[in-house]
Each structure stands twice: as C-alpha cells, then as structure tokens.
Amino acid sequence: MSARSPVEFYFDFSSPYSYIASEWVEAVAARHGRTVRWHAILLGATFQAAELKSPVSYPLKREYSIADFARSARFEGVPLQLPPSFPIPTQNAARVFWWLHAQDEARATAWAHAGLRAYFTRGVVLSDAAALLALCTQAGLDPAAAEAAWNDPTWKARLKTENDTAIAAGIFGAPTIVIDGEAFWGNDRKPQIERWLAQGPF
C-alpha cells in the first residue's frame, strides 16, 4: 500500500460532537492505514466568521441538540455527561495543545483526549484556571509551565494562526475531518468518512 495522507481532525474542547468523534477517529483511520493529525481550534472564531452560534443558542434547536448529544454518544458507545457549564471558552486548553504540539505531537494528542474526556465525562470545566491546572497535573504536565504557556503571546499567536488557517480553508464548525482535501463536518459524517477511506472519492 502506498503512503496515504493523514486524516486531519479539527476539534474544539467544548464541542460534544468533537468529543464523540475523537473517540472513534483514530481507530477508523488506522483501519485504513492512516494516521490522524489533530488541530485544536476555537469555535468562537469559526462561528464569528460564519455568522453562526452554538446549536444550544437557538430556540427549539437547543432542546433537540442537548438530547441529540446524549443519544449520539450512546449510539457510538461513548460515555458523555453534559458539563455543568456549557459551552465554555477553551483558548487556554487549546494553547496548551499547541505548546505541547511544538514539542511532541503525540503528547498534544494525549492532552486533547485528556481534556475532552475530563470535560465531557467528569464535568471538569476547562475554562476554570484552577480546574485546568489540576487536570494538567493529572495528565503528567508541569502545571506552572502549562499556565505560562497559555499566557504566552507565542501560543496565543499560534492558536490565532491555526484558527485563521482553518477559516481560510472553509472550516466553520467542529469536528471537521479533512481527508485527501475533502472536508466532512460533523460526527454524523462517519459513514461517509468510512466509505471515503475504504473506497476513495465518491
């Protein structure tokens, strides 16, 4: 088999559908000989560019979405509990991601899993500095270094660049999964993603 391009996985730490997809994307990619490259982005930035809001900000859609987050998680066999505060700003968790990414991509991916699971299964509110520091410690990071990173203009700028690049590529929501240049938006595009990976473009 020739080398295949990685699956690009764009997520926000506050996105339930990103969390659900984060639990299957690596296994699905691996079944088709692909790796996954993770990209922490901020829905706050993409929503502004696309004039969108969180699904829970709209009347009627709010109630449906809350039920659908839970049902979609059960459908995938993924534990999920809607956090006490939702949605939340996630720039600090995302800056820690990019700080780790510059050192070791695998550590950044591990942090992505740790953050998404903490928020969506244990209600760890990632926008709370004390909670985030405690999570860093649990995840094996130096909490003082992580805090310095999320306050560092370098990682603020890096996250902004990543958001701008995603928006320039047409990304407006999360998760967005890009394969061979083709964008799939949403956990619910899993069947199309599986067909693309197995059979190529359709």
In the complex with its own copies, the residue whose CB is nearer, 119 or 172, is 172
Q: Cβ of residue 81: shortest distance to its own copies, in angstroms?
A: 17
- The 3-state DSSP class for residue 121 equals helix
In the complex with its own copies, the residue whose CB is nearer, 75 or 129, is 75
In the complex with its own copies, the residue whose CB is nearer, 147 or 194, is 194
Q: Cβ of residue 16: shortest distance to its own copies, in angstroms?
A: 15
Closest CA to 85 of 120, 44, 114: 120
Binding site for its own copies (CB under 8 A): 46, 49-52, 58-61, 63-64, 68, 71-72, 74-75, 167, 170-173, 183, 185-186, 188-189, 191-192, 195, 202
- Determine contact, residues 100/108, Cβ cutoff 8 Å: yes
Q: Cβ of residue 196: shortest distance to its own copies, in angstroms?
A: 9
In the complex with its own copies, the residue whose CB is nearer, 63 or 180, is 63
Cβ contacts of 67 within 8 Å, gap of 6 or more: none
Say how far residue 109 (Cα) sits from the centre of its chain.
10
CA distance 143 to 87: 24
